Each structure stands twice: as C-alpha cells, then as structure tokens.
Structure 1
Amino acid sequence: MTPKQALSKLREGNRRFVEDANACASNLAHRREELAGGQHPWAIVLTCSDSRVTPELIFGGVTLGELFVIRNAGNVLDTSALGTIEYGAEHLHAPLIVVMGHKKCGAVAAACDVVQKGTELDGSIGKMVQPILPVALAALFKSEDFVGQTVRNNAVSGAARIMRESPIVAHLVEEGKVRIVPAVYDIETGEVEFISKA
C-alpha cells in the first residue's frame, strides 16, 4: 500500500464512522487467527491516551493488524514513541504516520495553564507535558481558542519533529515510501481533520 492509499483508507474509514458508527464492527476471532503468523499494519498512529480517542474505531472499525498505535497523554513525541514509530516504518513497512491530537485535550490544556497562568503540576505530569510547553508558548495570544490552537500546533510540531529527529523515518519519507500527516480529532462530531502542509 502506498502512503496515498493508506491516507485515503483512513479518510474513508473516518467518513464511515461519522455517518454510522454502529456499522463499524469487525470479525475479530477470524482476524486473530489470520494474524497469528505476523502483522502488516498499513498506518502508524501517535495519539492521545484519552479514553474517547480510539483510532481503531475513529477510522471506521479497522481491525486487528491494521494500525500500529502509540498512545500517551497529549500525543507527545518522546523517545519511546519515536522508537516505536521507527520500528513500524522501517521493520513493519507501514507507509503512513499520523500524529493525531484531539479537541478538549486535558494534557494540552494543562500545558496551556502552565504557560498562561503559571500553574505548577505535581508528580510526573509536569514532566510529561514539558514537550508541549514550547508549542503552547508559541500559540499564546495568537488565537481566541488557545487550547484548540495548541492542540493543532502540537500535532503539526510532532509530525515535524519526527522528520528532524529520526534519520530512519526521514530517509523513508525522502524515498517516497512513508508520509507523515498531522491531524486533529473532534470528539463531538467524530471527524478527523488531516492537516495539509501549506
């Protein structure tokens, strides 16, 4: 599958989900047997751990073996996420990488509170949102929807950082074997907006 075909498949799956979410069901038992010998996902998705954000459902009920998913609060590109993306792209040959934020993201809102109000976050939560802080700072005073703009910019930033920080993925992109696309999921409408490069 080409990067273009993979993106079209995600778009079509999201359209099905928006139009009739209940129709997005899978025969998991049969699929589990098919995949016992190995996996061949056609898309890698870095997204948030938010319980309302489930890529396998959002993209039309894709089933076992189709998506290689990395989740953490705020869809942060850390070492673990980047290594997982490299594995999916280089070893599993997934042609598409999607960095997907979502509206009303608590982790992004927390980072925005740190930047805007000087809020101090306890425990590991403060460390977890640190990569979002520069993105939030850059969005400060630039939009009436500070959190929403930061969600969007965080997805774009994550996609750009993959190219900068991973020579493995950058090489695959340059060869046309992989495409990286930022996106934002609307938890109210169910729609995914894929953000095109300007």
Structure 2
Amino acid sequence: MKIPVYLFGILIPLSGICQNSVLNPEEGLKKLKEGNERFVNGTSLKPNQDIKRIKQVALGQNPFAIIVGCSDSRVPNEIIFDQGLGDLFIVRTAGQVSTYASWGSIEFAHFILGSKLIVVLGHTKCGAVSAACKVPTVPGHIVTLINSIKPAAEEAKKHPGDQVENAVKINVAMQVKQLKDLEPVLRGAVESNQLKIVGAVYDLETGLVEFLSEDYLNTLK
C-alpha cells in the first residue's frame, strides 16, 4: 500500500529519526524467545536501559516488534521478553481486544516505524476472558469488552479441558486472524511477506511465553 505524499509531513515527525535497523520477523521472534528464556532462567540482561539508550531513543524510535497484549499488571512486556527502551511498540487493552484506536496504532508501528513482527500476547488466568466465559453483570463499558471476547468463550465450550484456559488461546488465535485480515494495511503486508503476525500465551505461574503453532492458529479459519 502506498501512502499519500501529503501524509509524510504529518507522520514522519511522529516517528522521529530511526536509530536501529529493523530486524526481519524471524530475527525478531528469535530475539523475543531468547529474552523470555533469560527472564525465566533468572539471567535477564536488562538491555537498552541506560542513559545512553535514553538519549538515543529521544531522537526517534525503531521498535523491532509490536506486542498486542493484555493490560494485566502482571504481564510487563519489556520485562518478560528482557528488552529495553525503544525495542517494543506495545498496544495493551484488557483481553488484548483490538478496536479502531488499536488498529491505527498497530498500523502506525508497522507502516511508519517499520516494525515487521506482531505478537498477539494473551496470558493464563485472564480476568477479561474469565468474565466472558461467566458473563457476570458489570457496569459501564466493561460489557463491550466482554462481548468482544464472547466468540472465543463460546468456541472454547467445544473443546475438552478448562473453558477459560482454552478461551485464552482461542481469543489469541481469533485476534491474530482479525489482524491478518485487516484492510488496507496489514493484510497486504502479510500477503507480501513484509509482516509476520503470531500468537502467544504468557504463563503467570512460570513466566514462560508459549508461542502458538501455525497449525493451531489455522484451526479457527
């Protein structure tokens, strides 16, 4: 997809001056997996968190991955992947539900900042997913959030095992599919191999991130 010339004057200043080469999707995925392994093993390097990095990213950002995750305070993305300032572009909502504002943010990170990898990150014992399975009476806009996750909760009933834990994975898979099909930016980028979108689940008890297989993600097509 080509961006209209007049938009460059608006969007480029928002991105700043890129300081690092953007990794390809496989390199980015490898970096995240290695970082999570260090986190789980207690050998985190805590990279890119010094004053030098602060000054560097003040000039611009060039995150190598976009994390579409849950707002849960127990899932701090930079920590569990052992990354630092400017490494990850993070979009978080309860239950990692994506809507228009989220989509625009994701498209900005890919199209303007150059990120080539999106990870939709759910987690075990997710309160939003649990609520979608139990459908409690809730106030305000919380019901809108729950309704967005209901399809995953309903699909989870067809599978053996715990409904909530199944729904967590299914919700991730559904969000991955939604982003892959999103027009006009993401779908074209995926089809032209300029962008990779994967799903993963963080285990609150172990700290381990499980990346869902393509076979599993494709079962919901």
1:21 to 1:85, Cα distance in 2 relative to 1, 3 A: same
Of 135, 145, 149, the residue aligned with 1:128 is 145
Larger of the two Rg values belongs to structure: 2
- Distance in 1 (CA, whole Å) between partners of 2:160 and 2:142 is 25
Question: Is residue 99 of structure 1 aligned with residue 120 of structure 2?
Answer: yes
Aligned position for 1:14: 36
Moved more, 162-171 or 34-43: 162-171
- Distance in 1 (CA, whole Å) between partners of 2:158 and 2:56 is 52
| Deviation for aligned residue 1:27 | 3.1
Of 110, 116, 141, the residue aligned with 1:89 is 110
- Distance in 1 (CA, whole Å) between partners of 2:52 and 2:160 is 48
Aligned position for 2:205: 188
Is the 1:28–1:63 Cα contact (8 Å) retained in structure 2? Answer: no
| Deviation for aligned residue 1:97 | 0.1
- Distance in 2 (CA, whole Å) between partners of 1:22 and 1:2 is 23
| Deviation for aligned residue 1:177 | 1.4
TM-score (norm 1): 0.93
- Distance in 2 (CA, whole Å) between partners of 1:92 and 1:25 is 21
| Deviation for aligned residue 1:29 | 2.0
| Deviation for aligned residue 1:80 | 1.3
Question: Is residue 2 of structure 1 aligned with residue 47 of structure 2?
Answer: no
TM-score (norm 2): 0.84
- Distance in 2 (CA, whole Å) between partners of 1:87 and 1:80 is 11
Is the 2:49–2:85 Cα contact (8 Å) retained in structure 1? Answer: no
Question: Is residue 36 of structure 1 aligned with residue 53 of structure 2?
Answer: no
The aligned length equals 193
Is the 1:56–1:63 Cα contact (8 Å) retained in structure 2? Answer: yes
**Structure 2 residues without counterparts, runs of 5 or longer:** 1-22, 216-221
Identical residues among aligned pairs (%): 41
Higher RCO (Cα < 8 Å, 6 or more apart)? 1
| Deviation for aligned residue 1:22 | 5.5
- Distance in 2 (CA, whole Å) between partners of 1:28 and 1:44 is 22
- Distance in 1 (CA, whole Å) between partners of 2:111 and 2:157 is 37
Is the 2:28–2:117 Cα contact (8 Å) retained in structure 1? Answer: yes
**Structure 1 residues without counterparts, runs of 5 or longer:** none
Is the 2:64–2:88 Cα contact (8 Å) retained in structure 1? Answer: yes
| Deviation for aligned residue 1:25 | 5.7
Is the 2:126–2:168 Cα contact (8 Å) retained in structure 1? Answer: yes
- Distance in 1 (CA, whole Å) between partners of 2:47 and 2:87 is 14
| Deviation for aligned residue 1:42 | 0.3
Question: What is the alpha-carbon root mean square deviation over aligned residues?
Answer: 1.3
Aligned position for 1:63: 84
